[in-house]
Amino acid sequence: MSSLTNWVQSEAMENRKESARRIAYRFRQNPLSLVGLGIIGGLVFVAIFAPYIARHPQDAGYMGEPAVDFANRFAEPSLAHPFGTDQAGRDILSRVIFGTRYSLALGLFVLTFAIGIGVPVGLVAGYVGGFVGQALMRLTDVFLSVPPLVLALAVAVPLQPSLRNAMIAIAVVWWPWYARLVYGEVVSVREEQFVEASRGIGASRLRIIFREILPNVMAPITVKFSLDMGYAILIGAGLGFLGLGAQPPTPEWGTMIAEGRAYLPAQWWYSTFPGLAIFLAVLGFNLLGDGLRDVLDVEVD
Write out the residues near other proteins by the rule CB under 8 A.
4-5, 8-9, 12, 15, 192-194, 196-204, 207, 212, 215-216, 218
CA atoms of 128 and 190, how far apart (whole Å):
10
Q: In whole angstroms, how far apart are CA 188 and each of 181, 183, 194, 200? A: 12, 9, 12, 19
CA atoms of 277 and 92, how far apart (whole Å):
12
Angle at 29 between CA 25 and CA 32, to 5 degrees: 125
Tell which residue, 120, 107, 109, has the closest CA to residue 227.
Answer: 107
DSSP 8-class letter at 212: I
When the beta carbons of 185 and 252 are compared against other proteins, the nearer one is: 185
CB atoms within 10 A of CB 222: 17
CB 195 → other proteins: shortest distance, Å?
A: 8
Is the sign of the CA dihedral 267, 269, 275, 279 positive or negative? positive
Q: In 3-state terms, the chain is what percent helix, strand and coil (to 5)?
A: 75, 0, 25
CB 206 → other proteins: shortest distance, Å?
A: 11
When the beta carbons of 76 and 297 are compared against other proteins, the nearer one is: 297
CB 181 → other proteins: shortest distance, Å?
A: 18
CB atoms within 10 A of CB 60: 25
When the beta carbons of 7 and 49 are compared against other proteins, the nearer one is: 7
CB 171 → other proteins: shortest distance, Å?
A: 28
When the beta carbons of 209 and 239 are compared against other proteins, the nearer one is: 209
CA atoms of 238 and 233, how far apart (whole Å):
8
CB 132 → other proteins: shortest distance, Å?
A: 16
When the beta carbons of 211 and 261 are compared against other proteins, the nearer one is: 211
Tell which residue, 166, 287, 143, has the closest CA to residue 227.
Answer: 287
When the beta carbons of 16 and 261 are compared against other proteins, the nearer one is: 16
When the beta carbons of 133 and 274 are compared against other proteins, the nearer one is: 133
CB 127 → other proteins: shortest distance, Å?
A: 14
CB 198 → other proteins: shortest distance, Å?
A: 7
